[in-house]
Each structure stands twice: as structure tokens, then as C-alpha cells.
Amino acid sequence: MKTLIHHIILLFSALFLLAGCDKTGNFPGAEVNPHIAIYDLRSFYKGADYPLTQSSMLGSIGVTGVVVSDHSGKNMTSGLLMVQNKWRLNELRGIAIDIGADAANYVPGDSVTVNLVGGVMKQVDGMLRVTGVNGSAVVKVASGKNIPVNRVPSSFILANPDKYESTEIVIVKGGFDPIPAPTDTYSGDKLVNDGFGNFTLHTTAAATFANTPLPGMANFFGVLEYSKGSDGKNIPHLRIRKPADIRVLSSTVTRAAIVISGFLAMPEGTPSTNGEYIQFLATRDIDFSVTPYCVVTHNTNSAYQPTGVPLNGWATTGRRSYKFDLKAGTVAKGQYFYVGGNSNKLINGVGSTSIANGKWIVAKNTGSSAGDGLGDINADLLLNGTSGFADGIAVFEGLTVTKNTTPIDVIITGANGAIYNLAQEAGLRIANTDWYDIVNPVTLEPQPLYKQGSNTICLSRPAPTNAGFFYKLGGVYNIRLGRWVTARSQNRVDLEITSVLDELEKEFPAGTGTTPGIVPTKVVE
């Protein structure tokens, strides 16, 4: 009983002490951080001017962060100091602070604190900024701070520009739409496509690089601002700050004449002998007797000779690589065509529908015929099963393939096996595609081989292995821009013995109201 009474007294004592506490939550000895996260600061704005006081900033007096603005290139809105930080929920946010001419005293990498008391947060021409403070409110704490590369697809920016406003971002592998003429320069508004959408690049006539000719493809660093469109709406755009923000990847646009659009690695329920084939899509009219191409497959099956890393790349001999020469026949722009170890031209192995009505350029029995100048007799060119060993398909201009020949398109399935060795500079060369980059688009380091640098994307092989899966890759290649505007992805069609050609070349299965269909790769202009 005494113990119970003692516990009751302690409980009432605790409640009494809590009742006497400061209801603001500021316990004795605690201090509010003088700097508020920019994420929180921006959240206060609800469509009306927001006066900034210590009270309205919940006890803080300003912000601290890294400067991302740079006025040396004369392309930023005058007077704006842009600062970003990542204090709240690990979310990067930026804010523009109008301090007049003093903004030009700061460069990216400067670490600053800014006293915002007395300022007003408002929206000007679509962009949130702080007005009513001057240069004396800014204190530089350090300089030369690293700013992590923030690669953002244009579709992300367009969907949520507020998230990226006043921060440093980079548009990677940006090409211009339309393709620029030799006399076209940066001055004005230009549309840049990075494979995810079109985004506006804004350059003032006074910018130091305004009259610089446009490249074929580049990485564009800069900050996000806004401008008013013809309809009065605010449009987000990227402002390059200075010439160093432009990292040219290519001075010209290279269009692939042929792209890989699908393949069947193993027919259903039958041995893979004389049943594999690859589907391609032409991006221009081609007469192969005039402009020949070739297709090479590579297989890392550990039972195939020679073993180990392919020292000669796609030109590795034995059963590792196999070449098909495309030197006769024609295809039209936008037409699918087929190459493979399928002399009977059947859609899904023995007893299945004939697809001889498709456009076949090469159809041979690889189980009884060697490759065209490369590759031994091999009935199983493309791997099947769940081992994860890598194999690949590549297309080359011309009929000669050596260790150093660069393809025009590549698809890799699987990541395991002896496929890459940096010390020996050995492996499979890739092309600049939707998946791969010969030069790392962010670090600008050379990476011409699969599994080197950022070149790690590949397809996987789902079980069961003999289900008759046709891999329909479903990307969109823009002929005019010479680039993928929708990247290819892994989609598979479970073929039947009775399947027909339309299942390979049209949307199949067809979409419903809730489930999208599987569409083939296509070209647009």
C-alpha cells in the first residue's frame, strides 16, 4: 500500500512539473538553431508575400548553405544570390536572395550565412525569392566547397520544378531539337532533349557565350530559373552560368542506321538448335549490297572456347562470337527485319507458325554452318537459363570486325562470366546508346567497354528458360535527333506455337484500361 501511494505521489509530481514548463517547447538551456533548412523556409510560402522575422522563421534568423550562382558569364538574373542546402529529410533545396550588385561577389562553392530578418519571401516571375535584404546580410564562411553533381532528367524537372528551383543541376547527354545548323548559337531559348523530354535552355544576348556555336551533344550545368511564356504562364528553364558549364560530348550528331528491337533466345519446349533470331529496326532506307553491315553475337558460356575474358572483344574466335554478314537485300525506313540461326523462319521453334512473310536478311542454321568469317559452328548463340552469364548482340557498319571496332548498337543480357578486365583493356566495346556511353556523361572519363564505368545496364533472363520468350524492347528512336527519346526496357512476350508475326511487330498483348500493352520499338521523326 505504501508503495502504491509513493508511485501516485511521483506521478502527480511529474504532472505538476510538466504543467509548469514553457509551452513554447524551449526548455531551459536549449537554443534554436539560428539557421533554418531551406526546405522548411520554402514551405512557409503559401501564395502570398511572407515577411521574414525571427518569429516567422520559428526562432531562426536566416539560412546557411553553398552558393551555386555565378554572374561572371552574364547570363543570370541580375542581383540574385542562389544558395542551396540539404538539411531537411536529406532533400536538396535552394533559394534566391536578391542582394543587388553584391551577388556578383560570390561564386559556386562559397559557403555563406545570410541573415534574412527584415526580408520578404515572395514569388517574382514564377520564382520564389527573398527581397528586402542587402549584401551586408551575407557572411562568407569558406570557399571552394564541393558541390555534388545533381543529375536530373528533364521529365523530373518539368513534373516538379519547385523542387529544383535555385539549385545547381546538370542535364546529361542533352541534344538540341531541332538539330542545330552550323550557324546556330546559344542566344535565346533553345530546346534540349536528354532522352526524357524537351527542356528550355535560356541564354541572354549579353551572355559571354551567347554567340558560341551549338554542339551536337553536351552536359549542361546550371541553375533553374523561370520565364513567362506567350500564354502568361511561368516556364522553368536552365541557365548556364559560364562557358565551363558546357561539357561537350560530341560536336556532331551520329544517327544509327539500324537498332536492335528484340530477340528470341530459346524457342518453347524444343532444343534451341535452328530456332534463335534477332529483330532489328531500320532508321533509314538501306540497300545492303551497297552499304553492308554485320551482326555479331557473343556468348560467355564457360564450356565455350576460348575461355576467359574476350581479349579480342567481339572478334573473339571459336564458339564465343558468331558473325552474320548483311550484304544483300533491302529494308525501308521504319521496317523490322530479322537475322539469325533460324533457317526455317519459324516464330517459336519446331511445329510453330512460319514467319517467312517477315523481312529476313539472313536466316541460316548456325548448328551446321560457321559464321561469316568469324565464329565456329554453334547451335546455341544466345544464352538461356538463369546463370546470369553475359551474352550480347552488336551491329557494325561494314563487314570487318576487330578488337577495336566500335558497333553502332549493342544489347547485353546478363552480367556474370569472363566479360571485362580493365588491366588487359579487354571486353566488349559498346556504342553511344540509350543504355551505354563511350565517355562517362558525368565524369567525362573514357569507358568504351561493357561493365566499365557506368556501362552496367543489362537484361536479365527470367525462368523458365524454354518458355519461348520474345524480348520486345519497346524503345522510341528519334531519327531526326539521332537519339533515343524513350529508352528500351525489358518486356517479354510469351509466344505460343500458334503465335503470328504481328505479335512481334505490333502492340501485343494489347493494353486494357488498367494494364498497358507491350509495344514494339519504334522510330519517330
* pLDDT tens-place values along the chain, 525 residues long: 444 444 444 444 444 444 444 433 444 445 778 999 999 999 999 999 999 999 999 999 999 999 999 999 999 999 999 999 998 888 999 999 999 999 999 999 999 999 999 999 999 988 999 999 999 999 999 999 999 989 888 889 999 999 999 999 999 889 998 888 999 999 999 999 888 888 999 999 999 999 999 998 899 999 999 877 667 777 899 999 999 999 988 766 778 999 999 999 888 865 556 899 999 999 999 999 999 999 999 988 777 888 889 999 999 999 999 999 999 999 999 999 999 999 999 999 888 999 999 999 999 999 999 999 999 999 888 866 556 788 899 999 999 999 999 999 999 988 888 888 888 889 999 999 989 999 888 788 899 999 999 899 998 876 666 778 999 999 999 998 888 888 898 898 999 999 999 999 999 988 887 888 999 999 998
Please give the tally of structural domains in the chain.
Answer: 3
- Out of 234, 250, 266, a domain closes at 250
Write down the residue that cell numbers 520486345 correspond to: 472
Are residues 206 and 264 located together in one domain of the fold?
no
Residues 85-115: tens digit of each pLDDT: 998 888 999 999 999 999 999 999 999 999 9
Q: CA-to-CA distance for 182 and 175, rounded, in angstroms? A: 14
Contacts of 516 (CB under 8 A, 6+ apart): none
Are residues 164 and 105 located together in one domain of the fold?
no
Are residues 227 and 112 located together in one domain of the fold?
no
Are residues 54 and 158 located together in one domain of the fold?
no
How do beta strands 420-421 and 426-427 pair?
Answer: antiparallel
β-strand partners of 201:
190, 238
Are residues 394 and 502 located together in one domain of the fold?
yes
Residue 106 lies in a domain: yes
Are residues 410 and 437 located together in one domain of the fold?
yes
Q: Residue 47: which domain range?
A: 38-142
Distances (CA, A) of 391 to 172, 301, 309, 353, 427: 28, 8, 12, 27, 12
DSSP codes, 455-466: ----B--PSPTT
Residue 28 lies in a domain: no
Residues 131-154: tens digit of each pLDDT: 999 999 999 999 999 999 898 888
Are residues 375 and 485 located together in one domain of the fold?
yes
C-alpha cell at 484: 533515343
Residue 20 lies in a domain: no
- Max CA separation in the chain (angstroms): 105
- Out of 250, 267, 288, a domain closes at 250
Are residues 438 and 501 located together in one domain of the fold?
yes
Are residues 127 and 187 located together in one domain of the fold?
no
C-alpha cell at 282: 531500320
Are residues 226 and 266 located together in one domain of the fold?
no
Cβ neighbours of 370 (radius 10 Å): 14
Are residues 355 and 455 located together in one domain of the fold?
yes
- Out of 224, 250, 276, a domain closes at 250
Are residues 465 and 395 located together in one domain of the fold?
yes
How far does the chain reach from its first CA to its final CA, in angstroms? 88
What is the domain-level CATH number for residue 116?
Answer: 2.40.50
Residue 277 lies in a domain: yes
